[in-house]
Amino acid sequence: MKKIEVLQNIMEANESIAARNQQLLDKHKAFAVNIMASPGAGKTSVILQTIAKLKDRLNIAVIEGDVASTLDAEKVRNEAMEVIQINTRNMPESCTLMAAMIEEALKNLSLEDIDLLLIENVGNLICPSEFILGEHKRIVISSLPEGDDKATKYPVMFTDADAVIINKVDFLPYVDFDIPAFRRAVKGLNPKVRLFEVSCKTGAGIDDWCSWLLTEVETNSHKLKIKDRTSK
């Protein structure tokens, strides 16, 4: 019972901080996306492709979450407007980013200049689904080499997602991945979710994904900010 009480306290505290984070982001009209996936699914590659497609329309910043190292932050540093690295190795919840970590990161970002904040969560299909960060949308990436059973094995992650990216579709000739079956499994858990089939290697599907994301940013009280800059 004590463990349950502690977990409840942690969750409640996290939700309170997450609410503050979203209020701060809303104040500055910065739209935040929480990108979750298992290690190697292609989170950083999707982020790089997204920045390449949208950097002429949006000011994009990135928060990189990893247990250790700054490798991913170094990859996006020259592409994003700003990059913050969070390493969780010595933190109580090393398997996921938490709202308090994002709160500290936001203090070091120029929020008044940011349109889109991409948060790359720690590679994990369990813990990140439990902790909201103050994001506006939750994205899950699942890649073909991982297999088509991830939605069945980790249902909570997919149930709460606003969009699911099926990445590395260029692997289809080489792996046993049933895309229609995967889509049915995801839709069975989450009928309203948007699904995108992409390849960061060939660029297939990236335009559709970025078009949807841009629309989400623009329809969440960001139209004026974007219009003012692009009209200059």
**What is the residue-level pLDDT of the chain in tens, covering all 232 positions?**
444 454 567 788 999 999 999 999 999 999 999 999 999 999 999 999 999 999 999 999 999 999 888 888 899 999 999 999 999 887 666 789 999 999 999 999 999 999 999 999 999 999 999 999 999 999 999 999 999 999 999 999 999 999 999 999 999 999 999 999 999 999 999 999 999 999 999 999 999 999 999 999 998 864 444 434 443 3
Q: Can you spell out the DSSP letters for 87-112?
A: E-TTSS-TTS--HHHHHHHHTTS-GG
Domain boundaries, the chain: 2-230
Q: What is the token pair recorded at 106?
A: 């936001």
| Range 112-128 burial, b when 16+ CB lie within 10 A, else e | eebbbbbbbbbbbbebb
What contacts 144, CB < 8 A, 6 or more positions away? 166, 167, 168, 169, 171, 172, 175, 177
Q: Can you spell out the DSSP letters for 108-129?
A: TS-GGG-SEEEEE--S-SSGGG
Was domain 2-230 assigned CATH 3.40.50.300? yes
CB of 198 closer than 8 Å to CB of 37: no
Q: What is the pTM of this model?
A: 0.90
